[in-house]
Amino acid sequence: MSYVTCPNCGVSRGSAVLTEPPTTCPDCCARLHLDVALASPLPPKPRTSPVELDRVLLSGRDAPGSARSEFRSFAAPLGEHIASVGTLMVSEMVTNAVQHGPAGEASTIGLHYAVVGETLQVEISDDGRGFVPRKRFNGQGEGSGWGLHIVSELADSWGVDHGRPTRVWFELAV
């Protein structure tokens, strides 16, 4: 669509792309000027991610699914790869917090997701007594010990902060 504006009375008129815009103002007969500002489309808004998100979930069987959903919504603007890889790691870490953290009706798990510069930072915390991460070993059951192994393989960096609360974190370049 092209637009013209009258320099005398300020009237703006639009016309379809296939139709010539009028050359004279229908109100005052002044010569109309092509209005480039109105004719050019607005640039698309870039998709941006919120800078950070903090949540507290009740510990329990629904916590990993809730954490995945919160993370996927937060990370979607960062691209499918970051959203998928991060969702897997968040799921593993929250599952560990549910399985190895304190059990009780009032037990909670803290989630902190942040984009700092070109880095996605994720922290999962609980009121557990802490732990020292160890590598998988020969003879370990097939169904256990994979959560932090997956995190160590996929994250750009990760770690465990000791003390209370227990805090497991990872970072991904975005």
Residue 166, classified by CB atoms within 10 Å of its CB into exposed (0-12), middle (13-18) or buried (19+), is buried
Omega within 30 of 0 (cis) for the link into 165: yes
pLDDT at 45: 47
More confident residue, 140 or 36: 140
- Residue 1 pLDDT > 70: no
Identify the pLDDT of residue 72.
97
Beta-sheet strand order (sheet of 2-5):
12-15, 2-5, 33-34
Tens of pLDDT, residue by residue over 118-133, are 999 999 999 887 776 7
pLDDT score recorded for residue 61: 92
pLDDT digits (tens, 9 = 90+) for 62-115: 999 999 999 999 999 999 999 999 999 999 999 999 988 887 778 999 999 999
pTM score of the predicted model: 0.67
Tell whether the torsion through CA atoms of 153, 158, 161 and 167 is positive or negative. negative
Query: If pLDDT is split at 50, 70 and 90, which confidence band does 59 have?
Result: very high
Question: Domain spanning 52-173: which CATH class is it, in words?
Answer: alpha beta
